Amino acid sequence: MTSDDYLNIAQIVISVVVIGLLLFQVTGGGLGGIFGESDTVYRTRRGIAKTLFRATIVCGVVFFGLAIIRLWLFNN
């Protein structure tokens, strides 16, 4: 396996993790909260919701970083 294969696999795994984290964050609001219903109540993030939020940001940055690395390494 080449380094390109490893980067592809890492990006696929990170993308699945980001999708899972995003799906776990939508709780308690029903489908109206997903589509931006105006009468939903704003709540501060605490506990596991805060951890999921931060993990989503970190995984998104890692995914973006892997994409930049792939562009930089393999398009020269």
Place of tokens 């776990």: 24
- Strand residue runs (E) in 18-60: none
pLDDT digits (tens, 9 = 90+) for 8-17: 999 999 999 9
Does the pLDDT of residue 5 top 70, yes or no?
yes
- 50: pLDDT confidence band, cut at 50, 70 and 90? confident
DSSP letter at 57 equals: H
Does the pLDDT of residue 33 top 60, yes or no?
no
What is the widest separation between alpha-carbon atoms in the chain?
52
To the nearest whole number, what is the mean pLDDT of the chain? 81
Q: What is the pLDDT of residue 73?
A: 86
Q: Report the candidate in 26, 70, 49, 42 with the shortest Cα–Cα distance to residue 62.
A: 70
Decide: 40 and 33 in contact? Cβ < 8 Å. yes
